[in-house]
Amino acid sequence: MMPVGPLMKEHRLIERMIGVMAGSLEEIRKEGKADPCFIDTAVDFIRTYADRCHHGKEEEILFRELAKKKLSQEHRRIMNELIEEHKMGRNNVKKLKAAKESYVRGEEAALKDIISNMEILTQFYPRHIEKEDKHFFLPCMDYLTPKERDKMLEEMGEFDKGMIHEKYTQVVESIGREEA
- Smallest distance, Fe ion to C-beta of residue 66, A: 13
- Give 67 or 104: the residue with its C-beta nearer to Fe ion: 67
Report if residue 93 touches Fe ion, rule: CB under 5 A.
no
- Smallest distance, Fe ion to C-beta of residue 59, A: 8
Is there a contact between 48 and 42 (Cβ–Cβ < 8 Å)? Answer: no
Report if residue 132 touches Fe ion, rule: CB under 5 A.
yes
The residue range among 51-59, 110-118, 134-142, 166-174 that interacts with Fe ion, by the rule CB under 5 A, is 51-59
Considering only CA atoms, give the Rg of the chain: 18
- Smallest distance, Fe ion to C-beta of residue 125, A: 9
- Give 65 or 132: the residue with its C-beta nearer to Fe ion: 132
The residue range among 56-64, 87-95, 100-108, 156-164 that interacts with Fe ion, by the rule CB under 5 A, is 56-64
- Give 87 or 94: the residue with its C-beta nearer to Fe ion: 87
Kindly list the distances between the CA atom of residue 30 and the CA atoms of 79, 102, 115, 176, in Å, as whole numbers in the listed order: 38, 20, 11, 39
In the complex, the residues that contact Fe ion under the rule CB under 5 A are 58, 132
